[in-house]
Amino acid sequence: MAIIKYKSKSLLKFPSIKDINTVLPILKSRFPEKKLLTFRGTPKMNGVQMSILFDHGRDEYCIQSRTKSFNEEERDKWGFRKYIERDIHMRRIKKMVGGILDYRSGKNHCRIVGEWCGSGLTDIPDSNSMAVQKIPNMWYVFGVQIHNEWIDLKEIRPHFLRDSKIYSALDFPTFDLQIDLNDPSEALSRIKSLTLKAYQQCPLGIQMNARGRGEGFVWTCMDDLKDLSLSFKSRYDDYVLISSDKEKDLEIFFSEFMTSQRIIKHVEKRNEELQSIRDLKSRSQVLAKSVFKLFSQKDWKRIEEELHLTMLDLKLPVERKILEYIQNASEHNDSNTGMNTDQLKINLHL
């Protein structure tokens, strides 16, 4: 077998997966004549996104994370490259890639994208109750691209390397459903039910004998696998809402206590810490937890006595509000600060 050489390549970013409310209008626009669309749901795992790019004709490969392409000498702190480059694993991967490329004869370029997950590989606060923290480290592959075409994992499932802890998302429980674009309520109700059940016990965890909660699902449109903008995610947090009788109090809280100016001031203060947190959702959770400390005892007394809101009531709404703020600003990322607060002020209409 030829020696496999490492060659750094330009970063290829995996598309961000949106929620159903964002994707539904896109689906209606993309399929104006179609009523029913089929989706496949796979467990959403939280870890570190890692990709391998292979040039099978030249026996070259490159390892990339969500945000960077590693150079030849560099080792990632999460241990993915150290694990995957063991001789036995790399030889198996080369053979796997050869089998995958047989699916498209005459093609040499293959990109495999997955979540490097398992014990110690998530920065979500309070993650000890998650099933993913109780399983051995594994590469959970959710996307394979041959040249510029994303392909159905079902067609190449036999090529995955369970002995090397390289799994296809289809090796674990999946859920198929149809969404009626004219009336999606029934499908949305099922998605909600499945997501809430996954929070109680991760479906992947069941198969791996790991008790603990899951994060939700990623739903892939089977009618057009090539377009990942048609996929969406469903998470437990999306369905935990504050009760309607407290909505008015919540509006007052955000207008008088947790104002946009206060958020910006807090973001500026925590910039250095923000740089070290790669996942925006995790970043919003850390900020939400710390932003409560900005309130004085007098503030809390009024919040509890006049608005009848507790920290438990506010936890998820505050996380969502902060996440919305930093998502708006993330596209205008400043390399020195990690967050362009001038752009943030524009996005917050200040």
Q: Is the domain of 65 the same as that of 205?
A: yes
**pLDDT value, residue 126:** 58
Query: Mean of the pLDDT values across residues 234-259?
Result: 76
Q: Is the domain of 334 the same as that of 209?
A: no
**pLDDT value, residue 341:** 45
Q: Is the domain of 338 the same as that of 233?
A: no
Domain boundary among 192, 207, 238: 238
Q: Is the domain of 320 the same as that of 298?
A: yes
Nearest partner of 109 among 145, 147, 159, 141, judged by Cα: 147
Please indicate, yes or no, if residue 73 is contained in any of the structural domains.
yes
Q: Is the domain of 202 the same as that of 281?
A: no
Contact in structure between 223 and 37 (CB atoms under 8 Å): yes
Is 60 exceeded by the pLDDT of residue 108? yes
Identify the residue with better confidence: 349 or 161.
Answer: 161
Is 80 exceeded by the pLDDT of residue 101? yes
**pLDDT value, residue 235:** 87
Q: Is the domain of 73 the same as that of 125?
A: yes
**pLDDT value, residue 7:** 85
**pLDDT value, residue 28:** 92
The pair of structure tokens assigned to 172 is 């674990």
Measured between alpha carbons, how far is 48 from 78 in angstroms, rounded to an integer? 8
Contact in structure between 196 and 163 (CB atoms under 8 Å): no
The pair of structure tokens assigned to 39 is 């989706």
Q: Quote the number of domains for the chain.
A: 2
Please indicate, yes or no, if residue 2 is contained in any of the structural domains.
no
Domain boundary among 214, 238, 262: 238
Contact in structure between 116 and 137 (CB atoms under 8 Å): yes
Question: Of the ranges 17-26, 169-178, 296-305, which one carries the lowest mean pLDDT score?
Answer: 296-305
Q: Which domain holds residue 326?
A: 244-347
Is 90 exceeded by the pLDDT of residue 166? yes
In the chain, the amino acid numbered 248 is: K
Query: Mean of the pLDDT values across residues 45-68?
Result: 89
Please indicate, yes or no, if residue 9 is contained in any of the structural domains.
no
Query: Mean of the pLDDT values across residues 52-70?
Result: 88
Q: Is the domain of 203 the same as that of 260?
A: no
Domain boundary among 238, 267, 300: 238
Please indicate, yes or no, if residue 279 is contained in any of the structural domains.
yes
Stated length of the chain: 350
Nearest partner of 220 among 51, 43, 25, judged by Cα: 43
Q: What is the CATH number of the domain that holds 171?
A: 3.30.470.30
Q: Is the pTM of this model over 0.75?
A: no
State pLDDT tens for residues 116-129. Answer: 999 988 766 556 78
Nearest partner of 338 among 281, 251, 269, judged by Cα: 269
Please indicate, yes or no, if residue 315 is contained in any of the structural domains.
yes
Please indicate, yes or no, if residue 216 is contained in any of the structural domains.
yes
Q: Is the domain of 48 the same as that of 170?
A: yes
How much is the mean pLDDT over the chain?
83
Q: Is the domain of 248 the same as that of 198?
A: no
Please indicate, yes or no, if residue 11 is contained in any of the structural domains.
no
Is 90 exceeded by the pLDDT of residue 346? no
Q: Is the domain of 69 the same as that of 185?
A: yes
Q: Is the domain of 153 the same as that of 291?
A: no
Please indicate, yes or no, if residue 1 is contained in any of the structural domains.
no
Q: Is the domain of 87 the same as that of 177?
A: yes
**pLDDT value, residue 259:** 81
Measured between alpha carbons, how far is 253 from 269 in angstroms, rounded to an integer? 22
Angle between helix 311-330 and 280-291 (nearest 10): 130
Contacts of 178 (CB under 8 A, 6+ apart): 36, 37, 38, 39, 187
